[in-house]
Amino acid sequence: MITCSAPGKIYLFGEHAVVYGESAICCAVDLRTRVQVEIDDTINIESVLGKTGIDSEIHPYVSAVIERMGEFTSIKGVSIKIDSDIPVGSGIGSSAAVTVATIAALNTLFNCKITLEEIAKLGHEIEMQIQGAASPTDTYVSTMGGVVIIPQKKKLEHIDCKIVIGNTNMLSSTKELVANVAKLRDSYPQIIDPVLSVISSISKIGEELVTNRDYASIGYLMNINHGLLDSVGVSSIELSSLVYAARNSGAFGAKITGAGGGGCIVAFVDRMQVDGVAYAINAAGGSSIITNATEHGIMVESN
Ligand code: MEV
């Protein structure tokens, strides 16, 4: 029996802009999806969503991984059990984490010798196949861990302030939100392209701030980035309520993380303020998760 895990992620800056080749900074967080695999007579996939065989409705990512792994090995029967700390469909990278952790676990079980770079690439192809649109960011950061600037894929300094996630508990579709931004861009390229380009500038300036561990300035730029995401239509009253609750209770800064529409916000917070920020997010109707950045991407936890 093999267990591999992979982390979720938050965006400091740059979601949506990254879809158009602009810069983003993304950070793996200490919320993990664990995938346990062992040889079996048939294919069985088990998670909180249910027990299935290959099933593109209930377990689309894991099913697609099993099918694609056929390029490397013959899988006649395998039992796969998934357990996750990452809220599903909330912009924290649950689909990327389950995809790359499953590839890694099957890679180890069947000794396919797929490299980490290849796992990230295969994970991205699977996200593309299922979502229709996805940048390689989520699968890359979940595979490698750490704080990464895209498109260079360069690792930055570890982030050591607290990270508080606020979940609106409202599901959103990345595919739909990416399509909405694309539509807006088609209608008003003179307005939307500069907005995406300013978001990119925030990420580029943010690189040095991460290196200097200047969390107050990072927070300030996160607030600006939130305003720009709002301007392209991906915020909501629930997301903004959580953003303002976090800011008003002492966070360095707060913004949407991921596709928006529903899902989560992220706040950077000094250790001393963390309980107050988490309390304020809960009082504003969200569910807070206190976490940290992690340098650990895919891990083989036991074999
Ligand atoms: C979703 O987590 C982030 C987006 O930029 C889409 C993507 O990069 O694939 C909205």
Ligand 1 center to 137 CA (angstroms): 8
Ligand 1 center to 134 CA (angstroms): 6
Q: Report the SS3 class of residue 291.
A: strand
Nearest CA residue ID for atom 8, ligand 1: 135
- Which atom of ligand 1 is the closest one to the Cα of 137? 8
Count CB atoms within 10 A of the CB of residue 158.
14
Pairing label, strands 43-47, 78-84: parallel
Ligand 1 center to 16 CA (angstroms): 6
Q: What are the pLDDT digits (tens) for 160-195?
A: 999 999 999 999 888 899 999 999 999 999 999 999
Count CB atoms within 10 A of the CB of residue 28.
28
Q: Structure tokens of 42?
A: 């048939």
Q: Structure tokens of 215?
A: 């969390």
Bridge partners of residue 288, in order along the sequence: 166
CA 31 to chain centre: 10
Among residues 41, 138, 160, 186, which one is catalytic?
A: 138
- Which atom of ligand 1 is the closest one to the Cα of 181? 10
Q: What is the DSSP letter of 158?
A: P
pTM above 0.75, yes or no: yes
Q: What are the Cα distances from residue 293, in Å, to 51, 79, 161, 214, 271?
A: 32, 31, 8, 15, 13
Handedness of CA 167, 218, 18, 140 (dihedral sign): negative
- Which atom of ligand 1 is the closest one to the Cα of 16? 5
Q: What's the one-letter identity of residue 48?
A: V
Q: What are the Cα distances from residue 99, in Å, to 17, 119, 123?
A: 23, 9, 6
Ligand 1 center to 41 CA (angstroms): 37
Contact indicator for 303, 2 with CB cutoff of 8 Å: yes
Residues near ligand 1 (Cβ within 6 A): 15-16, 18-19, 91, 134-135, 137-138, 174, 178, 258-259
Nearest CA residue ID for atom 9, ligand 1: 134
Residue 30 catalytic?
Answer: no
- Per-residue pLDDT in tens (0 to 9) along the chain, 303 residues: 999 999 999 999 999 999 999 999 999 999 999 999 999 999 999 999 999 999 999 999 999 999 999 999 999 999 999 999 998 888 899 999 999 999 999 999 999 999 999 999 999 999 999 887 778 999 999 999 999 999 999 999 999 999 999 999 999 888 899 999 999 999 999 999 999 999 999 999 999 999 999 999 999 999 999 999 999 999 999 999 999 999 999 999 999 999 999 999 999 999 999 999 999 999 999 999 999 999 999 999 976
Nearest CA residue ID for atom 10, ligand 1: 259
Q: What are phi and psi of 26, to 5 degrees?
A: -130, 150
